[in-house]
Chain A
């Protein structure tokens, strides 16, 4: 690998990590603003113009707060847990394309510049899921190491929940994978762009509506957001797994959670909303202008998705633990299987269509 390639990758890493960490801070502000609007309030507005500096204040405070490590915790694990949370949430981005990557990547001197940190991983989806499920360790370890009953319950709930929802989540994307005949996320995107009936694009949400719903529900569960935030469940478990964490360790869990939301939003957009696909953009456009536009489109869609996820949080009540399990095992998994079978059959019947 040429040095410049490594340099490009490093630049991309810094860009992405920096961008998303910063984005997370502002997502928290956005969430608070959305909460305020949902509740007919104003929300933070004293810190800088329109409250835009609020995340900085929060960050400054968190960093300067005393970092309590209670005497009764299991110290190594207690410290490890938030680190896992944030690391796993961050490295998941390695294979997520945030613009054109693969065939339609723009070129510099004939060398394609992929808008993706690790462009040649051809099992992108698997990787994202694998990393995503590692994040559960953060919660379990945090809950266990805190030596606190609320944390413990939170950790337990979370492990069961994530393990259960992994299955429908995985099954629901298989349909798209089979259609695109690739596990690589940019292939899925370009498939959606290339196919389609006239003005209607072949976005996942249209060709796999059921899978989309299953994916959405499971994604909420995977990210621990209401109505599935049982691991934190403020009204029941005070803070759930992070009850005993203070200062930046708590902040890291928070960051991890929001990074997760970003990842999930990216996945949703890529798998079911055509990624960068827009009526005037196609795979064939490999110009830089098109690339920039594609990045814009994808970020725009992701933002919408993030807002949607937040909006739900401030609207719905929470499921109960057993209902959550029932939903996964008795509804989502059978439906996902059904969806899979139907998709397979259809693909076989209309070979050549996809």
Chain B
């Protein structure tokens, strides 16, 4: 503790200085202030040594926060391992991760509920200032916009060591506190004892955007003045491209016939930074980069645009099969049912259901599995497209396209829930993001944003509050060393990440106490009969801050006693606009963002994204052998790390307090070390590049990796197996719980271990082999129990298979280059459409990319396994108890970064 300045009592009698010195040396001279300083010391010491954090993690940083409690870092040494689930018992709030607008009111509430004295650590770039997701329309630009922050921990994510350092910094800060004792006239810096000081934070309110009630009037004034609209009018807008049209039968599509806003786009691609710099210096800008307002391409292409081969995915039905299918559909359901458009079937909306039923029930290849559903906003229409696969004949993927009106709110498409129930959340997502209605959807409400949010953010004409240009780097961010860097807040007339339509008038109806996000998602008590007793039911809202929701996920449960009779998931609390930001990022720039999707499996995410773009780039990005092997090695290591975590935390959810989890984390740490060594970062590896990987393996890496793979992992997996698989309580808690039958699993588009535990041997690595997986010898593990236990066990066995693959890959790893050409920052991606699928640890991870030949993706969508697996949650939970719900959720192994994206 810093020594307080030694204030001597006033000597009222003038004495000889020599005598005074003598006195001070031998006689204890003190003052009230100093004596009280002792109290301060004890008081501060007590609080500094018992800082109990509020147990909630928002995003990727939250994972590092948990790792801080693991054996390698052990925050317990500082007495701070007592993570409290209840804010009433917490002393410090570690805001770990992206603060979204959807979550912000909850955080404010939690903060208000904490007893004084309370502290806030802002962990990570996101919490401190919005971080990489700052431009997102649902992201708060730093928690300090609302809460007083004591310590900022930089990093993305900060390593556990950094968090420990932050904790120590906070301890130092506490050491410097002085008690306020008005009675003695002592001024301190402990405002919480002053009844005059109101430290409560007003809870921000959901309106057309998140509104800070402290600035309500100002916001209303500025919205009415239309300042933001005026600013937007002056900005270049992203160009719209027309939807692909059916091509004449014959050879590959003619490039000239391809729609393209290419010239502008391509030229921008080549010299974007220079252009932006030039513009920001006020120099003349080449015509091509002039604002292409309203999406009209400025000029026709002078040279032909490169177009990627038309295919929906790498492994698919094939052109002939598709033609045959189209004619069969025409024959069965009347002509004009299916037209082939860029290797996909264009189906009129009114025939969609017929086609869907036919494909599922009558077609020789039964398309029973809806792999992915997404939408694209074109110039002339909004296209909803469906990727279908067959679990009986995996690899016969086809794509359906349905088109509907482009105007906002006008589009309507029939819902396919009756055919593939797995479409439920995905249709709601399209509704939320694009404003397309799905006729016949039983509960078509916003899923990621809140009811009342003013926009449909993935429409091309929606510009985020911090929008500056169609592609990054935004002009304001280019610091030419001339002090030109400006914060986005300065550019937005509201001074923060807010956009409110000029016409909004319901200012007086805003209610901070309303549960805008959860309303409309209250479960009805249906379907489940509970005992004879006539009991009352009540609704229990679990989450978004709850020890076992694996992040900021929320479930509204209707319970009768302990039995769940209704359940509605509520999500979007971590919606950080990955897809919109992905449209602003250049292709290469988007890699680090994919890391942050499912932040446990950054390598696997990289893999999927690389494959999608490589599919468009074709031979320009042919991956060399060595890079293929390295990719597989990284992917499988990552799978093991992720499964370890998931098994550990499943046990934790079932009540085994952290012990299994921490043992699992130990193994994960070893793998993360390997990642850090090779890629430079533990969690956010950003290691893949189009056509290869970023760096070759450092010397010594392979030896260590081999040692871990061959000597350690097997042993540890056995250990887990021995400890857990036969544990009676664990078996009691997990056997027969959360049943999801084979048929249901397929219908709900479940993926990964969840699907395989329901006895469907569907693993993308085998079903639609990518990279070099066809060379390895491994089993697709399935379980027959369809329950929580089998999901656990499938994961365990999958780790064994991964070790098997790793051993083979490490044995065969050849020498050679790791990239097809030189490292390049100018990636040219031909126009086209691609859907890549990889087997992520959670299931099928898909990246759907539409490129228009420009530097950024025209549309970028992630098929997220965690998100879609949640569709089945309600079915699995009904009739079980509250305790089971937690276990079932744990067995799905969701990661909120990926659920909400």
A residues adjacent to B (C-beta < 8 A):
32, 35-36, 38-47, 51, 53-54, 56-62, 64-68, 149-150, 153, 156-157, 226-227, 229-230, 233-239, 242-247, 250, 313-323
Contacts and interface: CB of A to CB of B under 8 A. Distances in A.
A40 B659 CA distance: 9
Q: Which 10 A-B pairs have the closest CB atoms?
A: A318-B655, A60-B46, A57-B49, A66-B115, A246-B88, A238-B85, A66-B116, A317-B656, A61-B50, A239-B86
Nearest to A44: B79
Interface stretch (B520-528, B682-690, B829-837, B881-889): B881-889
B117 A234 contact: no
Given A46-B79, A65-B91, 5 more contacts: A32-B82, A40-B662, A61-B50, A235-B655, A239-B89
Contacts of A243: 85-86, 88
Contacts of A226: 655, 657
A239 B85 contact: yes
B657 A35 contact: yes
B79 A234 contact: no
A238 B663 contact: no
17 contacts: A41-B71, A44-B78, A44-B81, A46-B49, A60-B47, A61-B49, A61-B91, A65-B117, A66-B116, A150-B540, A234-B85, A234-B657, A235-B653, A236-B548, A244-B86, A247-B115, A321-B881
Contact of A58 (B50, B663, B884): B50
Contact of A44 (B77, B113, B657): B77
Nearest to A249: B88
A314 B81 CA distance: 14
A146 B46 CA distance: 28
B77 A317 contact: no
A318 B883 contact: yes
A39 B663 contact: yes
Most buried by A among B89, B562, B658, B886: B89
Given A234-B547, A239-B89, A43 B77 contact: yes
Interface string B650-677: 0111111111001100100000000000
Interface in B545-562: 546-548, 561-562
B84 A319 contact: no
B514 interface: no
A125 B220 CA distance: 71
A68 B192 CA distance: 13
Contacts of A56: 46
B659 A38 contact: yes
B49 A40 contact: no
A239 B663 CA distance: 25
A349 to B, nearest CB: 35
Nearest to A29: B79
B357 interface: no
Contacts of B730: 317
B654 A317 contact: yes
Given A235-B547, A235-B886, A315 B79 contact: no
Contact of A42 (B43, B76, B884): B76
B663 A318 contact: no
Contact of A41 (B42, B540, B662): B662
Contact of B46 (A57, A235, A318): A57
Given A65-B115, A67-B115, A245-B88, A320 B883 contact: yes
B562 A153 contact: yes
Contacts of A39: 71, 658-659, 662-663
A320 B70 CA distance: 27
Contacts of A156: 561
A229 B561 CA distance: 18
B168 to A, nearest CB: 10
A60 B42 contact: yes
The residue among B48, B88, B732 with the most chain A CB atoms within 10 A of its own CB is B88
Given A41-B71, A320-B732, A320-B883, A36 B76 contact: yes
A157 B883 CA distance: 12
B733 interface: yes
B558 to A, nearest CB: 12
* Interface hub of A32, A246, A250, A322 (most chain B Cβ within 10 A): A246
Contacts of B886: 235-236
A317 to B, nearest CB: 4
A335 to B, nearest CB: 17
Contacts of A316: 655-656, 727, 729
Nearest to A62: B50
Given A60-B46, A243-B88, A42 B77 contact: yes
Contacts of B548: 235-236
A42 B77 CA distance: 7
B659 A68 contact: no
Contact of B727 (A35, A62, A65, A317): A317
A192 B599 CA distance: 60
A317 B538 CA distance: 27
A60 B45 contact: yes
B150 interface: no
B330 interface: no
Interface string B32-63: 00000000001101111110000000000000
B111 to A, nearest CB: 13
Contact of B49 (A54, A64, A234): A54
Contacts of B666: 40
A43 B43 contact: no
Contacts of A322: 562, 881
Contacts of A242: 86, 89
Nearest to B660: A317
A43 to B, nearest CB: 5
Contacts of B562: 153, 157, 321-322
Given A38-B659, A244-B86, A314-B659, A44 B76 contact: yes
A45 B77 contact: yes
Contacts of B882: 153, 236-237
B732 A319 contact: yes
B71 A317 contact: no
A327 B86 CA distance: 30
Interface in B854-901: 881-884, 886
Contacts of A153: 540, 562, 882
Nearest to B666: A40
B74 interface: yes
Given A42-B76, A46-B78, A149-B540, A321 B883 contact: yes
Contacts of B42: 60
Contacts of B76: 32, 35-36, 41-44
Nearest to A245: B88
A318 B656 contact: yes
Nearest to A55: B50
Interface in B396-420: none
Given A64-B46, A66-B192, A313 B657 contact: yes
B733 A317 contact: yes
A47 B74 contact: no
A313 B657 CA distance: 8
Contacts of A66: 115-117, 192
Contacts of B884: 320
B883 A236 contact: yes
Nearest to B69: A41
B284 to A, nearest CB: 62
Contacts of A68: 88, 113, 115
Contacts of B546: 238
A234 B91 CA distance: 18
B46 to A, nearest CB: 3
A148 to B, nearest CB: 9
A62 B76 CA distance: 18
Given A61-B50, A235-B548, A244-B88, A318 B729 contact: yes
B663 A40 contact: yes
Contacts of B45: 57, 60
B544 to A, nearest CB: 12
A245 B77 contact: no
Contacts of B662: 39-41
A305 B113 CA distance: 38
